[in-house]
Chain A
Amino acid sequence: MNEILTLLSFGDMGWGDEIALGVVTTVSLALASLPIGLLLGFLLALAKKSEEPALRAAANVYTTIFRGLPELLTLFLVYYGGQILIQQVLSLFGELYFEVNAFLAGMVALSLVFSSYASEAFLSAFRAINTGQYEGANALGLGYVQTMRLVILPQLVRLSLPALSNLWLILLKETSLVSIIGLADIIRYSNMAARTTKEPFLFFSVACVIYLVLAVISSGGISRLDAWAKRGETSR
C-alpha cells in the first residue's frame, strides 16, 4: 500500500505531478476544441437547414466524411497530411522546415469530428422549434439577427443541451487518442510510468479513474447548465 502511495506521490519518487500535467493537457485540449467545434457545428446546422441545395449538399459531404472516418485516422490525416501539405507549400518559398504541433493537430481533428456531430444536434433542435416562433418574432418586427438572438437561440440551447453534453463527454474521452501522436496527456504519462515502474495495472487504473472523475465533474456542470437553460420553463 505504501509503495503505491509513493508511486503516486508528487515529487521525484512518484508520478503524481507528471500525471497531473497530463490531466491539464487533456482538459485544455478538450476545452480548446469545444468552442471551435460548437461554432463550426452551428454554422453547419445553418447550412443544412438552408433552402439552397448546393449549401446543404456541401454541408452533408462534410458530415459524411468526418462522421465516417475513425477519429484516430482523422487525427493522422490532419497530423501527417497537414505536415506534408504545409511542407509542400513552404518548399515553394525555399527551404523552410515546419513541424505541425501535436496539440494543434489534435485540436483541429477533434473540432472537425465534434462539429460534424454537433451540427446534427443543432439541426434536430432547430427542427423542434415551432414555425410559430419565427412568425411571432416576425410579427413583432424583429429582424433576422434579433430573431436568432432573442427568440431562437435561447430555445436552441435548451433543446440541444442533452445531445451536446453527451458529445462533450465523448470529446473528453477522445482526447486520449492524441497520446498516440506524442502529446503528453493522461494516457501518455500513465504509459511512461507503467513502463518505468513495471506497474501497468496501477497506472492504467489511475488513468481510468481520472477519466471517470472528469466525467463526474462534467456531469455536475452539465446539470447546473441544464437548470440554467430551463429556468424559463414553467414547472408542470
Chain B
Amino acid sequence: MSNDSIGAPGSYVQSQIIQAKAPPPVPSSRPWTPTRIAGTAWLTLWIAAGLGIVWFLLNSNHVALVFGGDGLLPVSITHNAKFLTKYGEKFISGFIVTLKLVGLSMLLGVSLSIPMTFMRMSKNRVLGGIAYGYVYFFRGTPLLAQVFLIYYGAGTFRAPLQSVDMWWFFRDAWNCAVLAFTLNTAAYQIEILRGSIENIAKGQREAASALGLPRWVTFWKIILPQALIISLRPYGNEIILMIKGSAIVAIITIYDLMGETRRAFSRTYDFQAYIWAAIAYLVMVEALRRTWDRIEAHLTRHLKR
C-alpha cells in the first residue's frame, strides 16, 4: 500500500463530490395572466378615480400655480376656496355633533342594555317576553322609521305630554334623536351581550359552582370577563354602525356632519360638499376600525397561541 492509497479516500471524495448546482434562474417578471391584467386595470381605475377627485377638489377651489411671482420662489399657489372658508367651520361643528350624538347614545345604550340583558335572559316569562319584544321591534324596523316615530309621533300625544311636563323633551329634535339612537343601539347591545354570555362554555359555570363560589361572584369574576372579550368585536362593529346610521338625523333638522353637508349643498349646488363628507366619514370609520383592532389585539394578547 502506498501513501497515495491512504490519502486516497479524501482525495477520492474530493474528486467525486457533487458540485453545488447553480440556483434556478430568477424569474425575470411575473407573467401577465388575465387576473393580473384585471387587477392592475381595476387598481389603475381606483387610482384614476382618486386623482380625479383630487383634481375636482382643486379645480372647484380654483387652486392654481402662478409662475413668475415676486416672492422667494418663482412659483406661487393661488386659490379661491370660497366654499371651504364659508362652510369649513360648519363642517367641523357638524363633525363634533355627530361624535357627540354617537358617544352619548352609546353610553346611554350601554347603561340601558345591561339591565335589559338580565331581563332578556331571566327565566321570568313576562320579563323575558318584554325584553324579547323590545329587541325584536328595534332590530326589525328601520332606524329612520324609529326616529320618525319618536320625533313626529310624539306630536300625537302633545296634550298628555304637556300635562306631565314632558313636552319640552320631545319638542327638541336632538332629544328625540338621542332617545331613538339609544333605544336602537341598546337593542343591538342586548343581543351582543346575551350572545357572548351564552357562548361561555358550560364547564366554566360548573367549575365555579364546584368551587362553591356564589352565583354573583361566578358572574362577576368568571363569566363577565370572558363574555366582554368575546363581545369586543361586535361592540366595535356596533359603534361603526352607529356612526354610519347617525347620518339620518340630518332629516329631522339636526345639523350633524350630514346635515351641514346637505345645507351647504342646497345653498351652493357645489358637489364638493358630499366629497368632503365622504372623506370625513371614511377617515372616521377607518380610524376607529384600526384603533379598535389594536385595542382588541392588546386585550386578547394572553389568548394568542
- Chain A positions within 8 Å of B, measured between CB atoms, are 47, 50-59, 61, 64-65, 67-73, 76-77, 80-81, 84, 169, 173-177, 179-180, 187, 190-191, 194, 198-202, 204-205, 207-208, 211-212, 215
**Cross-chain pairs A/B with CB under 8 angstroms, 28 sampled:** A54-B42, A55-B35, A64-B282, A64-B286, A68-B281, A69-B282, A73-B261, A73-B281, A80-B271, A81-B271, A176-B144, A176-B145, A179-B144, A180-B251, A187-B145, A200-B156, A201-B152, A201-B153, A201-B154, A201-B155, A204-B152, A205-B149, A207-B149, A208-B146, A211-B140, A211-B145, A212-B136, A212-B140
| Cβ of B185 to closest chain A Cβ, rounded Å | 15
- Confirm or deny: B265 has a beta carbon within 8 angstroms of a beta carbon on chain A: yes
Question: Given A69-B278, A73-B281, A194-B152, is A55 in contact with B39 using a C-beta cutoff of 8 Å?
Answer: yes
B39 lies within 8 A of A58 (CB): yes
Interface residues of B in 38-90 (CB under 8 A from A): 38-40, 42-43, 45-46
Q: Which of B39, B141, B244, B258 contacts A52, CB < 8 Å? A: B39
- Confirm or deny: B247 has a beta carbon within 8 angstroms of a beta carbon on chain A: yes
B145 lies within 8 A of A58 (CB): no
Cα distance, A80 to B40, chains bound together (Å): 29
Cα distance, A166 to B141, chains bound together (Å): 13
| Cβ of A81 to closest chain B Cβ, rounded Å | 6
Cα distance, A180 to B244, chains bound together (Å): 16
Q: Which of B143, B145, B243 contacts A207, CB < 8 Å? A: B145
- Confirm or deny: B208 has a beta carbon within 8 angstroms of a beta carbon on chain A: no
- Confirm or deny: B169 has a beta carbon within 8 angstroms of a beta carbon on chain A: no
A201 lies within 8 A of B35 (CB): no
Question: Given A68-B285, A212-B136, is A56 in contact with B141 using a C-beta cutoff of 8 Å?
Answer: no
A54 lies within 8 A of B40 (CB): yes
Q: Which of A52, A199, A201 contacts B36, CB < 8 Å? A: A52
A80 lies within 8 A of B265 (CB): yes
| Cβ of A92 to closest chain B Cβ, rounded Å | 16
For residue A177, which residues in chain B have a CB less than 8 angstroms away from its CB?
A: 142, 144, 248
For residue B141, which residues in chain A have a CB less than 8 angstroms away from its CB?
A: 173, 207-208, 211-212
For residue B140, which residues in chain A have a CB less than 8 angstroms away from its CB?
A: 169, 173, 211-212, 215
A65 lies within 8 A of B282 (CB): yes
Question: Given A70-B245, A76-B274, A179-B144, is A55 in contact with B137 using a C-beta cutoff of 8 Å?
Answer: no
Q: Which of B36, B137, B278 contacts A208, CB < 8 Å? A: B137
B247 lies within 8 A of A68 (CB): no
A73 lies within 8 A of B33 (CB): no
Cα distance, A36 to B282, chains bound together (Å): 24
For residue A67, which residues in chain B have a CB less than 8 angstroms away from its CB?
A: 285
Cα distance, A175 to B141, chains bound together (Å): 11
A200 lies within 8 A of B145 (CB): no
Cα distance, A158 to B96, chains bound together (Å): 44
For residue A173, which residues in chain B have a CB less than 8 angstroms away from its CB?
A: 140-143
For residue B38, which residues in chain A have a CB less than 8 angstroms away from its CB?
A: 52, 55
For residue B247, which residues in chain A have a CB less than 8 angstroms away from its CB?
A: 70-73
For residue A72, which residues in chain B have a CB less than 8 angstroms away from its CB?
A: 247-248, 250, 258
B39 lies within 8 A of A54 (CB): yes
Interface string of B230-271 (1 = CB under 8 A from A): 000000000000011111101100000010010001000001
Q: Which of B45, B136, B281, B289 contacts A69, CB < 8 Å? A: B281
| Cβ of B291 to closest chain A Cβ, rounded Å | 14
- Confirm or deny: B173 has a beta carbon within 8 angstroms of a beta carbon on chain A: no
Q: Which of B142, B146, B149, B286 has the most CB of A within 10 A?
A: B142
